[in-house]
Structure 1
Amino acid sequence: MTGSIGANIRRLREQRGWSQARLARETCRAAGVQGEPIGRQEISRYETGKRTPREWLSFIAAALGVPVDVLRTPLGPAEPPPPALADYLPEGDPLAPLGGCEGRRVGVGAVGDLQQRVHGLRLADDVIAGGDLLRPALRELRSAVRLFRESSHTEAIGRSLLRAIGELAQIAGWIASDAGQHAEAERIYRLGLSAAHTAGDTTLAGNLLGCLAYQRTNTGDVREGLIMARAALENADGAPPRARALYLDRVAWAHAKAGEPQPAMRALGEAGEALTGHGEEEEPGYLYWVDAGELQVMESRVYTELRRPLRAVPLLRDVLSRYDATHTREFALYLSWLAVALADANEPEEAAATAERVITLSADVASERTAARVKVVLARLEEFRDVAEVRAVLEGAA
């Protein structure tokens, strides 16, 4: 019965286009209480069946504008529970210490050194494409796993090493994906997921599963990508605001790729709402790049994917006017969405000029993602082949 109540709460909330935070506020208002004695996390637990509303059930029903019995009544066969992070762990235990191994004792110094190498690799990824960075990334990951398995350490140091391995797997997986090595990237992400899960770091696990979801979405398995993105979101209780914003961005993208505009826009709205909660809370360093500008990037991409150029073009131009052009790969990617949006807006000459810049920038970048986007742009321009500027671009590319 608890599962049915949770499914009904979620269904009615989504029908109204409310976020979980909005439902929490409306429930408190219906109860006539000051402040927010229940919040988004509590609503999430109700919806996933982890907790029963009990005394709050009548107030949730009032907030949703339905009788309590509506929430208690099963609508049909019970839905299977949403996937959990653990459902995506690799088989076996790839991080198990080697049996009978009495390796050298490591402490905080080894953890600090590993964290510095992770950060260095992350900074390198800002300016070096996956094809050029994959070998050193894999070398660092193998070295980190060997350090954990072959050394002796305290439990606390072990958890710190596992978190560092998880972060290293996230960036190494991203690099492998950018290089077009998608099977290798998935294996790396799942290894990192195992490390984060073993360390008890749900925020890092959610980030890794979200990265895997993003790859699945972009490589054609959109429905599975959406399931994974939602699992990352639903199973990350207590994640800091910027992490939740990142998870929601990936949900929005998956909905957009699935051609589902309303859920995509709701997720974007919830991402913006989550980011407003960012303050001085403690959070992992790898969230440094999640800000209002990055949410604007995703918003513009979603609008482009949904063929809404009147919204996409101004956003993309604004983003590009402020973007660091030394980050060549990302600059080329964002220009590629602008080229498509301009074509959708029936501006073939501008689309051609933008496409020319994409092709020029991509020529010197060893990134499968930029190469794939060039193909998308050229395919979109085919409709305007009779326009001289477009024909010149298409023939030049050929």
Structure 2
Amino acid sequence: MRRREFGRLAAATGAAAILDSWETSGNRLGATDLRRLLDGVDALELADQRAGGAPLVSIAVEQLAVAKSRLETCAFDTPTGNAFTSATGELAVLAGWLAFDADMHPLARRCYSDAMSLASEADDPDLTAHTCLYAANQSIALSKTGEASPHHALKLIERARDLMRGRPPGRIHALIAIRRAQAVGLLGDRKAFGRAIATAWREADQAAEHESLEDCPRWLRFVNHTELRGHEARGYGRVGDFRKAVELFEAAATEQAEMRNAVNARAWLASARAAVGDLGGALLEAAPVLEELDKAVFSPRTVKVLQPVRRAAASLPAGAEFRERFDALTQRVITA
């Protein structure tokens, strides 16, 4: 069995356990139902970190439909209902992220809309902030193709910042600053980018000192110095400093990360090398990325990161093998 297929099977097994438990747990929601839902969200998130989001989208969307149906049809006391609503909202955000990673943007938007409604229903500011930051990330990504606006992203980021104002030091503040740096970088505002990324580093240092991973929500645990360095590198690329971007991507690519994040980091490094005219280096970096995307990680989002390398290699005899493999992989992504 191929590693990607194994990841899909593992996630499906976890999802099936959740669905089976809901089918047999009766018509009243209790603490056990809540725990199983949260465990299912954790299992899907871990599978995404290992193998990418595309194989998991249908599982997450199916789980989300079941959870929403349970909220509409089951009896529950108010605290349990609110907690289950918030957990369903967390599942909706995760489903949106998985759809985003799979390049299924209309579905991602619908999931984020569900999450926002569930956050309002549960009166949950943390879920609202979580949703705003992930929806902003999608807007930032789509801004590069004119399908969204960084100004809309900034509006969502500001809402998250207002909701989290006054919270003690933690990764949430670092992520808010990262998102702001992403958005203003797209606008080409180098000074604002510099201020935002400096804030992100300061908040990340504070979080590392004052917030243990055990005390941090699981969805924020990816916010670390490696993640921040990658976003800083992308920001320098967006404001036109590609050499600085290459330098930072080189550092990020050597640091430990989960499989999907590590592959994505190397894809960005290859793209940055192409931007500075180092086509030989770009192809050297991109080749093992294609290998992982073919065998272990199914992330159409990461495939798209390599498009500048494909364009740069269009007229290079040395790039013929890369072009062939990239085109074949892209076609499989489209038809998957």
> Same fold by TM-score, threshold 0.5 exceeded?
yes
Between the aligned partners of 2:70 and 2:33, the Cα distance in structure 1 is 9
CA shift, 1:171, in A, is 0.9
Does 1 or 2 have the higher relative contact order (CA < 8 Å, sep 6+)? Answer: 2
Partner of 2:157: 229
Q: Does 1:183 align with 2:106?
A: yes
Between the aligned partners of 1:349 and 1:376, the Cα distance in structure 2 is 13
Task: Name stretches of at least 5 consecutive residues in structure 1 with no aligned partner.
Answer: 1-102
Partner of 2:128: 205
Partner of 1:360: 291
Larger radius of gyration: 1
Between the aligned partners of 1:373 and 1:346, the Cα distance in structure 2 is 16
- Does the 8 Å contact 2:178/2:197 carry over to 1? yes
Partner of 1:143: 66
Between the aligned partners of 1:130 and 1:294, the Cα distance in structure 2 is 18
Check 1:396–1:188 CA distance in 2 against 1; reply closer, same or farther (3 A cut): closer
Output the amino acid matched with 2:318: E
Partner of 1:129: 52
Output the amino acid matched with 2:230: V
Between the aligned partners of 1:354 and 1:380, the Cα distance in structure 2 is 14
CA shift, 1:179, in A, is 1.5
For residues 57-90 of structure 1, what are the alpha-carbon distances to aligned partners after superposition, in whole Å with 9 as ceiling and x for unaligned?
Answer: xxxxxxxxxxxxxxxxxxxxxxxxxxxxxxxxxx
CA shift, 1:395, in A, is 6.1
For residues 339-395 of structure 1, what are the alpha-carbon distances to aligned partners after superposition, in whole Å with 9 as ceiling and x for unaligned?
Answer: 12223333222122112233333334432202212223322455xx45x53466446
Partner of 1:311: 244
Between the aligned partners of 1:395 and 1:165, the Cα distance in structure 2 is 42
Between the aligned partners of 2:273 and 2:43, the Cα distance in structure 1 is 37
CA shift, 1:229, in A, is 2.6
Question: Percent same amino acid at aligned positions?
Answer: 27
Between Structure 1 and Structure 2, which shows a larger proportion of helix residues?
Answer: 2
Of 371, 382, 394, the residue aligned with 2:303 is: 371
- Does the 8 Å contact 1:340/1:380 carry over to 2? no
Q: Counterparts in 2 of 1:32-43, with a 5 A limit? A: none
CA shift, 1:211, in A, is 0.7
Report how many aligned residue pairs link the two structures: 291
Q: Counterparts in 2 of 1:88-167, with a 5 A limit? A: 104-167=27-90
For residues 276-306 of structure 1, what are the alpha-carbon distances to aligned partners after superposition, in whole Å with 9 as ceiling and x for unaligned?
Answer: 3321485423222212221112112212333
- Does the 8 Å contact 1:226/1:254 carry over to 2? yes
Check 1:379–1:148 CA distance in 2 against 1; reply closer, same or farther (3 A cut): same
Q: Does 1:288 align with 2:183?
A: no
Aligned-residue Cα RMSD (Å) equals: 2.3
CA shift, 1:323, in A, is 2.8
Between the aligned partners of 2:193 and 2:62, the Cα distance in structure 1 is 38
Output the amino acid matched with 1:317: E
TM-score by length of 2: 0.78
Of 242, 245, 248, the residue aligned with 2:171 is: 242
Between the aligned partners of 1:106 and 1:358, the Cα distance in structure 2 is 44
Between the aligned partners of 1:379 and 1:366, the Cα distance in structure 2 is 22
Between the aligned partners of 2:326 and 2:220, the Cα distance in structure 1 is 38
Q: Does 1:251 align with 2:180?
A: yes
For residues 289-331 of structure 1, what are the alpha-carbon distances to aligned partners after superposition, in whole Å with 9 as ceiling and x for unaligned?
Answer: 212221112112212333323322232222221234x61x333
Between the aligned partners of 1:207 and 1:285, the Cα distance in structure 2 is 12
